[in-house]
Amino acid sequence: MRSRSNSGVRLDYYQRIVHRLIMSHQEPVTGLFPASNVNSHAWIRDNVYCILAVWGLSMAYKKIADQDEDRAKCYELEQSCVKLMRGLLMAMMNQKDKVETFKITQNPLDSLHAKYSSRNGQPVVGDGEWGHLQIDAVSLYLLILAQMTASGLQIVFSLDEVSFIQNLVFYIESAYCIPDYGIWERGDKTNHGEPELNASSIGMAKAALEAMNELDLFGARGGPASVIHVLADEAHKCQAVLQSMLPRESNSKELDSGILCVIGFPAFAVDDPQLIHNTKDAILSRLQGKYGCKRFLRDGYRTPKEDPSRLYYERWELRMFENIECEWPLFYCYLILFHAFQNDKMAVKNYAERLERIMVRSDDGILLIPESYAVPQNLVANEYQHPGSQSREVVGRCPFLWGQSLFILGRLLQEGFLAVGELDPLNRRLGAQKKPDVVVQVVIIAEDNEIRDKLAEHDLHVQTIAEVAPIEVQPARVLSHLYTYLGRNRKLGLTGRKSRDVGILSTSKLYSLKDRIFAFTPQFVDLSRFYIASDNELMIDILKGEINFLKSAWDLLGRPLVTLVLKNIHLDQDKIPLAMIQTMRKLKSGYINGTRVMLGNLKDFLNTSAITDLSFLGSTEDGYPDRLHPDVQTYLDEHLLRSFSHRNTMNLRGGQLRPRSLRRRMSCKGAIKKTRSINVDSDTLGMEGPTQLSERRLSSIVPPPWLQANKQNHISVFATTPEEGPADQSEIIRENIYPIDPHHNRTAMERRSEFARQQEIQNIPKILIQRHRTDNNFADTEVEELIAMLRETENLEEQGDILQYLVDTQGLDFNTAGLGIKNKPTEIEGNFVEEPVDIGSSSNDEPKVAEMPTVVIDTSNINSQSQSEGMLEEGRVVTVRDLLKGLYEKACQQKLWGLVRHTAGMLGKRVEDLAKAVTDLLVRQKQVTVGMPPNNEYTITAPLPEAELRQLIHDAYGDDESTAMLTQELMVYLAMFIRTEPQLFHEMLRLRVGLIIQVMAKELSRTLNCDGEAASEHLLNLSPFEMKNLLYHILSGKEFAVSSVARGSLSIVSCKSSRVSKKSQIGLGDPEGEDALVATIDDRQGQWLRRRRLDGALNRVPRDFYSRVWTVLEKCQGLAIEGRILQQSLTQEMTPGELKFALEVETALNQIPQPEYRQLVVEALMVLTLVTEHNMVPSLGGVIYVEHLVHKANQLFLEDQRKVQGDATLCCAKSNGKDHQAASGMLLCGGAAYICQHLYDSAPSGSYGTMTYMARAVALVLDCVPKHGEMDCTIS
């Protein structure tokens, strides 16, 4: 320290400045700062930043307080901070009802206000009159509240205030999926009032959540009741999304200087030093100027070209603001603090000098920070020509208190009055330092002694649930229920936490409650959730993923602890599955997938695990903080009894019944298959012709051949599947449709079962009510026989077909009790029941319903008598739905996955985490589409509630329940991959799940050498684990082979080369001898076609593709792709790196149904970018039709093929030129969109490569390229 006098004098100088510039404006009643002398509104964000200088100065005084007057000054400054923070707290508490509503609706109109009156703390503008939803402002308040409390200030006074702040934590915890108006209050940069996800808001929220966690708001004097709790998973979600966004700020702002406050002081929200560096460099290189930094590209605020009479901008005028955006000195203050915390003295000095040059001196010599600098009106033309060359003038407030306050903090740090640690008492700045490796502790507990003994046979010694007492093991849903009591407050009308989700970080801790200790099993093992939980291999795979995730994400004190319970339900034919044993051995070895693990008993880990106190469950409001809340007490008592009990599964049929011989006049075989819509065989992938029917998915209705003869035109009982292609082309009108073979799939029609055929011939009018299809010729007798068959068949697939048929004809709620049995004891739910004899509907009765027009009742065609006798004596009704549930559970146990998926779909089950999975994809800037392209594709662009999502998916696939279920399943896997391996998704903007399913089926049909129907059958029967595996191989583009495992199930194995040994190439029959040779040659041959197909289906594009298309668009009037024109005006509105622009291009490309054709169009666009980047021509002329280029390239290719007698001479390049097309009107070689298959299968480079032909096509088609003369063609 310097001598007392010098440092004291210098501090007194700063105290005078702070007093004059900042504290003199503080309102005496509320403690808030007005925006300026003429505007009395107080913004939360600006107020918090203003007070930071006061707080910093108070700590500087505290250090040298050896005289009474210094202590007095220190106290005065501290109380000024407390007054302001409490003023903001009061203003927000007045809006407590909004906080409560917002937790549920997350609607911008229900948000806390961004500004209040500085005189009385009341709202100053209406809910809809301002972009109030600014999560970064509330987060900044919480962050600084935490830092000030940690530095010793007492800001919160009562427990009611504590519960309000706990609810503010809930208010910001979903920041990662709530679009807001952001730090500049604008939302989308056109300022039309559309909120968007902003990286600066998410980063600030993440910082606030971490700072608040386990913080005692009463400081050193508090107790358990004043501690704030944060679920670690919420903060981690914010971090993951933030990392995926940086350096982008939002969809419309590709960069924003506001991110400086997230990567440095005050938030320190990024843990990855490289990402911090890249983000800062990106901001400096594109936004820094002489007078500070621009806020973001094309920011029109206060520029001379802005029209002050309106708030919003027209889309075309954004281009005018380029290069003349205002520059803000504020960001130099952020950069000084950023480098001071990095201890980089040179950089601090550099920015301090730059800042001094642009500060304004007041009359009494104080240096002031102005708000911003703009280009004067008369110099705009020069600035456009030479950006950064003209001198600028001050616009806006001066002094700008937000900047002034940060400037003073920087000065106090530079002169040594403050150490960086004092401005950051919670040590957030150390987040980016390397952490030691995490050791994950794993505990396996057996449900009962029997399972414990079975494990002991494999030398794995574990305890049972009973033996781990007094520690209690509970499922995650108990924890999620307990957390709903957090933050409840009757007086304030606050109801606690709304979200029911508890992630792996939360269940990896132990929890103490009075003298009890709880361990919770992770959420993913909760079996009541969804069918993928009954696939043991998948659960093990997810477990490995979660352990890996803990290694990177865990940052709490103590080690993470994963508790797993092994139950009877996991056993496979009374044995412990091999996969589980192998995994446990791996865990025992101490390493699994590169993560260190320790396997042990719960009591061994008590001292090394993180333990959280659930003290908030006490009845504090009733004055008994030491007693459990009565509701909690009853919940726990009830729950402990039934936490790990089994559910009885329904027995479909009595085991005692011997099958009696039945005259099977009909069979429902194939009823499930008829609902499938995955199309593989059709030559035009995804071109099934449009549908003019409003019914849910009769994609193409064709009168079957045997009906055409009789000139009857009734629709069949079953919707025909798209594989059966429209037979009559005349009714179908659509631009750009390619001819489809009328005889294309006749066999598919022939295959339909006898039964369906009989039904069709009998002239049936058909009524559709949701899914209850009623056919009035279907008398009770038939239903009787079906139920009888159902009771006697052992085969689950057959039961499935019968039930599918019953659902189609009678509906899910049809009561089957008492049908199909003639006075026989049956067993339902294990009870024997005598059935009354059924007289009313014996087979010789004529059908009573036949002549009447069909009236749909729920139990459609059963007369009243059989309805009354359908009730069981217990008064139970057995509906088709109940039978389906029983079938679903059996299929799960027997691992018949195709049936499981189908019955799950019919029962309307949905993946628990569906909405969360979709949100995970969307917030990482990936849009999702469901449905089969091109007609039924729906794009999901914003998070939707669970029920709406499910409805959307099922609308997209109509009656195809299996594929709808598969879509939900794949979305969950995609979300898992994007969390664990985000690199798989580079350069992909939209994930088109329908196309991915088709490509998966195509790949299976290629590897197994089978037709499309068999392939989609195999696909739907893959176990969830293999499904995830196949999806992984397709995403990563790795080669794979399919090997057969026992019981006909397939497994996907990676293979290093494309030539796999014959053994692993097992399909349905080994290709032997010569065939095997052919198979491997073919495989190598289709390589490029396959690769283009995969890339096209996954929407993969080359690096910087979209920004390069932007440069092409700038030089022509538009690009036409499949009938959609991208206008040049897009470049006026959007910058090259903007996500909104990329989505426009993507939407145009998605009009192309065939993936391989789409890829060629992308290649053609890349050739055009090369033309512009090498400045060969000043302009490319009018609208460019990209497809013309591709077709021209195809012509050139075929000409070359004729010259060299290439492969294509067998199909498209035949010399006589007549026979280009097969009878079907398709190309002989089956190439999509009239492009020869052999062109699709050419490598891009080389003299016969696609790029060569594209380049020649560009030269021929575009008028602007010189046709002769010398061109400089040096290759760089």
**pLDDT tens digits for range 1172-1207:** 888 777 788 888 999 899 999 999 998 888 888 887
Average pLDDT over residues 1098-1113: 91
Question: What is the tens place of the pLDDT at every residue in 495-527?
Answer: 989 877 888 999 999 999 888 899 999 988 875
User: In the prediction, which pLDDT does 709 show?
Assistant: 39
Is pLDDT at 841 greater than 80 in this prediction?
A: no
Name the phi and psi angles at 271, rounded to 5: -95, -15
- Measured over the CA atoms of residue 890, residue 894, residue 897 and residue 898, the dihedral's sign is negative
- In this structure, what token pair is assigned to residue 565? 């319970």
Calculate the dihedral angle through the C-alpha atoms of 276, 277, 278, 281, rounding to the nearest 10 degrees: 120
Cα–Cα–Cα angle for 83, 89, 95, nearest 5°?
145
Is pLDDT at 561 greater than 70 in this prediction?
A: yes
Question: What is the tens place of the pLDDT at every residue in 1257-1269?
Answer: 988 888 776 666 5
Share above pLDDT 70 across residues of the chain, in percent, rounded to a whole number: 79
DSSP calls for 21-62: HTGGGS-TTT-PPPSSSS--EEEHHHHHHHHHHHHHHHHHHH
Residues 336/351, Cβ–Cβ less than 8 Å: yes
In the chain, how long is the greatest CA-to-CA distance?
A: 116
Window from 608-622, 719-733, 934-948, 1045-1059 with minimum mean pLDDT = 719-733
Q: Regarding predicted confidence, which is higher, 531 or 1197?
A: 1197
Q: Regarding predicted confidence, which is higher, 525 or 450?
A: 450
Confidence of residue 51 (pLDDT cuts 50, 70, 90): very high
Cα–Cα–Cα angle for 286, 287, 291, nearest 5°?
135
Window from 125-134, 998-1007, 1212-1221 with minimum mean pLDDT = 1212-1221
Position 69, amino acid:
E
Is pLDDT at 420 greater than 50 in this prediction?
A: yes
Confidence of residue 1081 (pLDDT cuts 50, 70, 90): very low
Helix (H) or strand (E) holding 1125: strand 1124-1127
Average pLDDT over residues 786-797: 79
Q: Which of 545, 490, 482 is nearest to 516 (CA)?
A: 482
Question: What is the tens place of the pLDDT at every residue in 1124-1153?
Answer: 899 988 898 898 988 889 989 988 998 888
Name the phi and psi angles at 1200, rounded to 5: -60, -40
Confidence of residue 705 (pLDDT cuts 50, 70, 90): very low
User: In the prediction, which pLDDT does 537 show?
Assistant: 86
Is pLDDT at 268 greater than 90 in this prediction?
A: yes
Window from 20-24, 254-258, 719-723 with minimum mean pLDDT = 719-723
Window from 8-12, 714-718, 790-794 with minimum mean pLDDT = 714-718
- In this structure, what token pair is assigned to residue 656? 């005692």
Name the phi and psi angles at 1024, rounded to 5: -50, -40
Residue 1099 to residue 937: CA distance in whole angstroms: 15
Spell out the residues 6+ positions from residue 86 whose beta carbon is closer than 8 angstroms to its own: 31, 155, 157
User: In the prediction, which pLDDT does 909 show?
Assistant: 79
Query: How much is the mean pLDDT over the chain?
Result: 80
Q: With DSSP H G I counted as helix, E B as strand and the rest as coil, what are the percentages for the chain, rounded to 5?
A: 50, 10, 40
DSSP letter, residue 1267 = S
User: In the prediction, which pLDDT does 867 show?
Assistant: 37
pTM of the model: 0.81
- In this structure, what token pair is assigned to residue 232? 């670690």
User: In the prediction, which pLDDT does 219 show?
Assistant: 92
- Measured over the CA atoms of residue 599, residue 564, residue 570 and residue 545, the dihedral's sign is negative
Q: Regarding predicted confidence, which is higher, 718 or 235?
A: 235
Question: What is the tens place of the pLDDT at every residue in 52-75?
Answer: 999 999 999 998 877 777 889 999
User: In the prediction, which pLDDT does 138 show?
Assistant: 98
Window from 444-458, 661-675, 883-897 with minimum mean pLDDT = 661-675
Average pLDDT over residues 1060-1082: 37
Residue 288 to residue 298: CA distance in whole angstroms: 14
Which among 204-208, 827-831, 984-988, 1271-1275 has the top mean pLDDT?
204-208
User: In the prediction, which pLDDT does 140 show?
Assistant: 98
Is pLDDT at 15 greater than 90 in this prediction?
A: yes
Q: Which of 319, 380, 385, 321 is nearest to 1113 (CA)?
A: 319
- In this structure, what token pair is assigned to residue 1012? 């499309």
Q: Which of 341, 240, 350, 239 is nearest to 284 (CA)?
A: 350
Is pLDDT at 77 greater than 90 in this prediction?
A: yes
Share above pLDDT 90 across residues of the chain, in percent, rounded to a whole number: 41
Question: What is the tens place of the pLDDT at every residue in 803-821?
Answer: 888 777 777 777 776 565 5
Name the phi and psi angles at 828, rounded to 5: -125, 130
Residue 1104 to residue 1112: CA distance in whole angstroms: 13
Residue 460 to residue 131: CA distance in whole angstroms: 60
User: In the prediction, which pLDDT does 667 show?
Assistant: 55
Residue owning tokens 């004059």: 20
Question: What is the tens place of the pLDDT at every residue in 295-326?
Answer: 999 999 999 999 888 888 988 889 999 999 99
Average pLDDT over residues 1048-1070: 49
3-state class (DSSP) for residue 468? coil
Residue 697 to residue 691: CA distance in whole angstroms: 8
Question: What is the tens place of the pLDDT at every residue in 180-217?
Answer: 999 999 989 888 889 999 999 999 999 999 999 999 99
Confidence of residue 797 (pLDDT cuts 50, 70, 90): confident
Window from 105-109, 470-474, 1040-1044, 1233-1237 with minimum mean pLDDT = 1040-1044
Is pLDDT at 555 greater than 50 in this prediction?
A: yes
Name the phi and psi angles at 1052, rounded to 5: -100, 125
- In this structure, what token pair is assigned to residue 575? 């044995």
Confidence of residue 1164 (pLDDT cuts 50, 70, 90): very high
Cα 416 from chain centroid (whole Å)? 47
Confidence of residue 1042 (pLDDT cuts 50, 70, 90): confident
Average pLDDT over residues 86-109: 95
Is pLDDT at 241 greater than 60 in this prediction?
A: yes
Is pLDDT at 355 greater than 50 in this prediction?
A: yes
Is pLDDT at 851 greater than 70 in this prediction?
A: no
Confidence of residue 711 (pLDDT cuts 50, 70, 90): very low
Residue 520 to residue 509: CA distance in whole angstroms: 8
User: In the prediction, which pLDDT does 656 show?
Assistant: 37
Cα–Cα–Cα angle for 384, 385, 387, nearest 5°?
65
Is pLDDT at 646 greater than 50 in this prediction?
A: no
User: In the prediction, which pLDDT does 691 show?
Assistant: 35
Confidence of residue 574 (pLDDT cuts 50, 70, 90): confident
Contacts 24+ apart (CB under 8 A), 884-891: 884/803, 884/807, 884/812, 885/650, 886/649, 886/650, 886/651, 886/652, 887/652, 887/796, 887/799, 887/800, 887/803, 888/531, 889/649, 889/650, 890/649, 890/652, 890/796, 891/796, 891/800
